[in-house]
Amino acid sequence: AASDVYKRQFVDIGVHQDGLVHVSELDRKFVNDPSDVVSVGDIVRVNVLSVELERKRIALSRKQLL
């Protein structure tokens, strides 16, 4: 499920830490406002770009699966 945050979307991927989808990874076309492409509560498919254990960050991409 996506939560509304400016220029990025956090995605619950079923582990303790949410994943982050940067606005540039939301769609193949330019996205000015993330809410134009996704809404809070949407179920989305994402690809894992990277995992940073020390910083507790998971980078995700939605556009790679479109």
Predicted TM-score (pTM) of this structure: 0.77
> Can you give the pLDDT of all 66 residues of the chain as single tens digits?
444 445 667 788 888 888 899 999 999 999 988 889 998 889 999 999 999 989 888 999 999 999
Q: What pLDDT score was predicted for residue 7? A: 64
Q: What pLDDT score was predicted for residue 4? A: 45
Cβ pair 14, 58 in contact under 8 A? no
Half-sphere exposure of 48 (CA within 13 A, CB side): 12
Q: Report the alpha-carbon distance of residue 17 to residue 23 in Å, rounded.
A: 19
Q: What pLDDT score was predicted for residue 40? A: 87
Amino acid (1-letter code) at residue 33: D
